[in-house]
Structure 1
Amino acid sequence: MIMIRAIVRPEKTNTILAELNSAGFPAVTKIDVVGRGKQKGVRIGDVIYDEIPKEMLMMVVGDEDKEDVINIILKYAKTGEKGNYGDGKIFVSPVEEVYTISSGKKGL
């Protein structure tokens, strides 16, 4: 199993979630976050905005679904044809075990 965390622009979230759902991946946790990337925020005049609003989408999928989910996020999170700074990041990590609290069942 794989945990995928995607930090994306808030205006892209609904499209990404709809596409994931259509592809058979409805289980997602969404969290409002703020932060900055390599560009160290955005400078407008004398003001530097270094807490830029983003949304984090988290999901656990089977190893065989990893590439499909990543490709959906990459396709629908990108702004413009080539993408832009601030479009986000995707983090992928292994998951050892998953349990459903209500049933105590192990696994997805």
Structure 2
Amino acid sequence: MKKIECIIRPEKLEEVKDALNQLGIKGMTVSQVMGCGLQKGKTEYYRGVEININLLPKIKIELIVKDSEVDRIVDTIIKVARSGKIGDGKIFIYNVEDAVRIRTGEKGESAI
């Protein structure tokens, strides 16, 4: 099993969720996060005063999937979330040793 963790632009969330739903992905965790990378924030003006905003709002999506599904899920997220501009986000893939469904006690892939 693998954990796919992706950080995307907030405006891309619905498109990514719809695309993952079409792939048959049933479970995910979505969090609102703040971060910075190459984009290094942005400058805005408030009441005539320049303000540097270093941390920008992002969305983090976490999925636990079978090893065989990773490539098509990652390819789909890239296709849908890419705008071609700095700040599109990142995808991280981790090994998952085990999973347990609390309600039934199922373990491994049957728990996801």
Q: Does the alignment reach a TM-score above 0.5?
A: yes
Taking the aligned partners of 2:93 and 2:42, their CA distance within structure 1 comes to: 27
| Alpha-carbon distance, 1:59 to partner | 0.3
1:75 corresponds, among 76, 79, 84, to 79
1:24-39 matched pairs, under 5 angstroms: 24-39=24-39
Select the structure of larger CA radius of gyration.
2
Q: Which residue pairs with 1:59 in the alignment?
A: 63
1:104 counterpart letter in structure 2: G
1:1-108 matched pairs, under 5 angstroms: 1-44=1-44, 46-79=50-83, 83-107=84-108, 108=112
Taking the aligned partners of 2:61 and 2:23, their CA distance within structure 1 comes to: 16
Q: Share of identical aligned residues, percent?
A: 35
Larger CA deviation: 17-26 vs 41-50: 41-50
State the Cα deviation string for residues 38-89 of structure 1 (Å, max 9, x = none). 232223464211120010000000110000110011001111xxx1101100
| Alpha-carbon distance, 1:23 to partner | 0.8
TM-score normalised by L of structure 1: 0.91
Instruction: State how many pairs are aligned.
Output: 105
1:64 counterpart letter in structure 2: S
Structure 1 residues not aligned, in runs of 5+: none
| Alpha-carbon distance, 1:2 to partner | 0.5
TM-score normalised by L of structure 2: 0.88
Moved over 2 A (4+): 43-47
Q: What CA RMSD, in Å, does the superposition of the two structures yield over aligned residues? A: 1.2
